[in-house]
Chain A
Amino acid sequence: MRQTERHAGGLRAALAIARRDLVEFVRDRRTLFITLLLPMVTYPILALSTALGLRTASSEIEAQRAPTKIVVTVSGPDAIALVDRIGFVEKKTTGSGREGWPSAIEMEAVTAADARGRLDQGVADLWLEAPRGCIAALDADGTVAIPVHLPPGRPPNRRVRDQFDAVMRSLAEDVRSRRIQLAGLPASVLAPLKLVFVDGLEESRPPPAHSIMSTLAGGVLVLLAVLTLTGAFYPAIDAIAGEKERGTIETLLIAPCGSRDIVFGKFLAVFTVTLATLAANAVSIAATAAVSRRFLPADITMALPDSAVVAILVTVLAFAGLAALSAATCLAVTTASKSGKEAQNTLTPVILLVSALAGTALLPGMRSDSLLAAVPFSGQVLVSRGVFAAGEAGPHAVPAVLGPLAVTLLSAAAGTWLLLRATASMLTDEDILFRGGDVAGAGFNRPGRRTRPNVVQGVLPIVAGLAALWYVQGISPDDLVRAIPLQQTAAVILPLLAVTWWQRVDIRQTFRLAWPGGAAGPATWWGGVGWLVGAAALGAAVFVIGATTLLAVKGTVLSDEARLLSNKLLELMESQPAWVSWGLMAALPAVCEECLFRGWVQSGFAGRAESRQRVVAAIVAQAALFAVFHLLPERMPQTFFLGLVLGGLTHASGSLLPAIVCHIAHNSMPLALLAAGLPRWALPASVGCLLLGAVLLTNGSRGRSRMEPLE
Chain B
Amino acid sequence: MRVAMIEVVDLVKHYRASDGSVVRAVDGVSLAVHPGEMVGLLGANGAGKTTTLRVLATLLKPTSGTARVAGCDVRHDPVGVRRSLGYVSATTGVPDRLTAREIFSSFGELHGLEAAGLAARVERLIEVLDLASCADRPAGRLSSGQRQRVSLGRALIHDPPALVLDEPTNALDVVGARDLLSFLAQLRGEGRAILLSTHRLHEIENRCDRFVIIHGGRVLATGTRDELLAAWADGQGAELEDAFFAALAGGGAG
Contacts and interface: CB of A to CB of B under 8 A. Distances in A.
A436 B19 CA distance: 10
Given A4-B78, A16-B106, A447-B20, A248 B83 contact: no
Contacts of A20: 95, 98, 102, 106
A380 to B, nearest CB: 32
Interface string B171-194: 000000000000000000000000
A257 B19 contact: no
Contacts of B57: 250, 254
Interface in B79-121: 79, 82-83, 85, 87, 89, 91-98, 102, 106-107, 109-112
A430 interface: yes
Contact of B75 (A1, A247, A435, A448): A1
Contact of A256 (B15, B98, B102, B112): B112
A254 B94 CA distance: 14
Interface string A1-25: 1101100110011001101100110
A673 interface: no
B3 interface: no
B157 to A, nearest CB: 10
Interface stretch (B38-46, B58-66, B210-218, B243-251): B58-66
B163 interface: no
A255 interface: yes
If over half of A's interface residues share one DSSP class (helix, strand or loop), that class is named, otherwise mixed; here it is helix
Contacts of B60: 430, 434
Contact of B82 (A12, A254, A448): A254
A248 B18 contact: no
Contact of A1 (B15, B20, B54, B78): B78
Contact of B95 (A248, A250, A257): A248
A449 interface: yes
A13 to B, nearest CB: 6
Contacts of B78: 1-2, 4-5
B133 interface: no
B110 A256 contact: yes
B96 A246 contact: yes
B79 A16 contact: no
A255 B74 contact: no
B107 A251 contact: yes
A635 to B, nearest CB: 40
Contacts of A17: 106, 110
If over half of B's interface residues share one DSSP class (helix, strand or loop), that class is named, otherwise mixed; here it is loop
Contacts of B107: 251, 255
A28 B96 CA distance: 10
A63 interface: no
Contacts of A246: 93-96
A2 B75 CA distance: 9
Contacts of A8: 79
A482 B74 CA distance: 61
A28 B111 contact: no
Given A254-B59, A434-B54, A27 B97 contact: yes
B138 interface: yes
Contacts of B154: 251
A266 B20 CA distance: 33
A442 B19 CA distance: 12
Nearest to B91: A247
A567 interface: no
B21 interface: yes
A450 interface: yes
A436 B109 contact: no
A254 to B, nearest CB: 5
Contacts of B93: 246-248
A104 interface: no
B71 to A, nearest CB: 16
A250 B97 contact: no
9 contacts: A16-B106, A19-B109, A247-B89, A248-B95, A251-B154, A254-B57, A256-B79, A430-B61, A447-B19
Given A12-B109, A248-B95, 8 more contacts: A1-B74, A4-B77, A28-B97, A247-B91, A247-B93, A248-B93, A435-B17, A448-B21
Please give me the 9 A-B residue pairs with the lowest Cβ-Cβ distance, nearest first.
A448-B20, A247-B93, A448-B19, A16-B109, A20-B106, A27-B97, A255-B110, A247-B91, A5-B79
Interface of B: 15, 17-21, 54, 57-61, 74-79, 82-83, 85, 87, 89, 91-98, 102, 106-107, 109-112, 138, 154
